[in-house]
């Protein structure tokens, strides 16, 4: 997996490592059991097979042990699901609206909104990544809890950023919620991973996490460039959902 930069991804890493240990132990046990059965009960060693059809203790074991394994997996899994579900006392809110095939971002508290489109091959500059870089990035401050409200203006899309451990579907007519807190400044890439039509593969997400002072400077400029009352970003998320 990609390097973790959020508390959610840290917990996702921990769950992944736990599952890796469990599945490895299960695979080794099954392999050893198969080898033992092949050697112990082969025809040359066991010409007269057993007629035993039931073994109460064995049936209890092979029913109870898998149940216990599932309980061990379920406890951290459900804790992670609840942790990642909703932001508790978020520091800021970002509204994300998906379109075929680009994203619109709205900062309701800061009164700015803008579209984010993938940069075409012909317009790429040195250092930009083909099929991943965009003209306007989603910018957030480091260490702040960001509530993300996601919807779509047409078909289903998916807001997916691997290094954040975040994936949430945009569903027509409703708002879904997730959150993230980026603990390391940098640029992070994601994509819509819901097959949303012809140009599905041309719908990247770029999030830039800045230290607070740098973010404040970006925000001051963005309030002039992306003011919501200029109509540049099209209909707001709330307007789309109300339809």
Q: Which range, of 71-75, 214-218, 227-231, averages the lowest pLDDT? A: 227-231
| Confidence check: pLDDT of 232 > 80 | no
Residues 164/146, Cβ–Cβ less than 8 Å:
no
Q: How far apart are CA 176 and CA 149, in angstroms?
A: 6
The three-state secondary structure class of 123 is helix
| Confidence check: pLDDT of 144 > 80 | yes
Alpha helices for the chain (secondary structure H): 7-40, 56-85, 212-225, 237-242
Q: Which residue in this structure is represented by tokens 């009960």?
A: 41
The three-state secondary structure class of 59 is helix
Complete domains list, the chain, with CATH = 7-85 (1.10.287.90), 92-242 (2.60.40.420)
At residue 231, the pLDDT reads 45
Give the confidence band of 238 by pLDDT, cuts at 50, 70, 90: very low
Q: How far apart are CA 138 and CA 1, in angstroms?
A: 22
- Residue of 158, 179, 165 whose CA lies nearest to 98: 158
Determine the angle formed by the axes of helices 7-40 and 56-85, rounding to 10 degrees. 160
Q: What pTM value is reported for the model?
A: 0.84
Q: How far apart are CA 229 and CA 216, in angstroms?
A: 21
At residue 237, the pLDDT reads 52
| Confidence check: pLDDT of 126 > 90 | yes
């Amino acid at each position: 997996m990609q390097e973790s930069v959020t508390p959610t991804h840290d917990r996702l890493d921990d769950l992944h490592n736990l599952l890796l240990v469990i599945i490895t132990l299960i695979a080794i046990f099954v392999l050893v059991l198969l080898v033992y059965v092949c050697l112990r009960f082969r025809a040359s060693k066991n010409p007269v097979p057993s007629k035993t059809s039931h073994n109460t203790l064995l049936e209890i074991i092979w029913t109870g042990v898998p149940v216990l394994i599932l309980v061990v997996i379920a406890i951290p899994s459900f804790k992670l699901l609840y942790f990642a579900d909703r932001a508790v006392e978020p520091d800021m809110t970002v509204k994300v609206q998906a379109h075929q095939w680009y994203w619109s971002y709205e900062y309701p508290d800061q009164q700015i909104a803008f579209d984010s489109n993938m940069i075409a091959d012909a317009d790429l500059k040195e250092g930009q990544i083909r099929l991943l870089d965009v003209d306007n990035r989603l910018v957030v401050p480091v260490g702040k809890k960001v509530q993300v409200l996601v919807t779509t203006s047409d078909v289903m899309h998916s807001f997916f950023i691997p290094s954040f451990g975040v994936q949430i579907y945009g569903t027509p007519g409703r708002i879904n919620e997730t959150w993230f807190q980026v603990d390391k400044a940098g640029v992070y890439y994601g994509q819509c991973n819901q097959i949303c039509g012809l140009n599905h593969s041309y719908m990247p997400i770029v999030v830039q996490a800045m230290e607070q002072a740098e973010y404040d400077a970006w925000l001051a400029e963005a309030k002039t460039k992306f003011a919501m009352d200029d109509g540049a970003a099209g209909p707001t998320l709330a307007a789309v959902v109300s339809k």
